[in-house]
Amino acid sequence: GEDVEQSLFLSVREGDSSVINCTYTDSSSTYLYWYKQEPGAGLQLLTYIFSNMDMKQDQRLTVLLNKKDKHLSLRIADTQTGDSAIYFCAERKGGATNKLIFGTGTLLAVQP
């Protein structure tokens, strides 16, 4: 099927690291993405990783990709209350389309 799976909820304390996990389905996916959705807003791209990479770091964000297990993770260092949002992973299907299949979303709650 096309299900991209994520855990539903994660709660962390301000200043701690957050790790959000995702399992995707298509081993031929070329790009994998992390999007953030704040309350009442649309989705905003946080970062992406090309499928031939294992890791990508962008300031407080670290993306790890395990192609063998089709597992993607997003680590947020020094998590802030402003990071509270829903985080979606997405895979780009192969072929001549940018169609993205999104995960179920993980609600990150950051406690002060």
Partner 1 sequence: DSGVTQTPKHLITATGQRVTLRCSPRSGDLSVYWYQQSLDQGLQFLIQYYNGEERAKGNILERFSAQQFPDLHSELNLSSLELGDSALYFCASSVSGIDTGELFFGEGSRLTVL
What does the block give as tokens for 44?
A: 């905003």
**Binding flags for partner 1, 59-98, as an x/- string (CB under 8 A):** -----------------------------x---x---xxx
Q: What is the DSSP string of 37-106?
A: E-TTS-EEEEEEEETT-SEEEETTEEEEEETTTTEEEEEESS--GGG-EEEEEEEEPSSS---EEEB--E
Interacting stretch for partner 1, rule CB under 8 A, among 16-24, 41-49, 60-68, 71-79?
Answer: 41-49
> Phi-psi category of 87—alpha, beta or left, where left has phi over 0 and alpha has psi -120 to 50?
beta
Interacting stretch for partner 1, rule CB under 8 A, among 18-26, 42-50, 59-67, 69-77?
Answer: 42-50
Does position 52 bind partner 1 by CB under 8 A? no
In the complex, least distance from residue 76 CB atom to partner 1, rounded to whole angstroms: 20
**Residues that bind partner 1 in the complex, under the rule CB under 8 A:** 30-31, 33, 35, 40-45, 48, 88, 92, 96-105
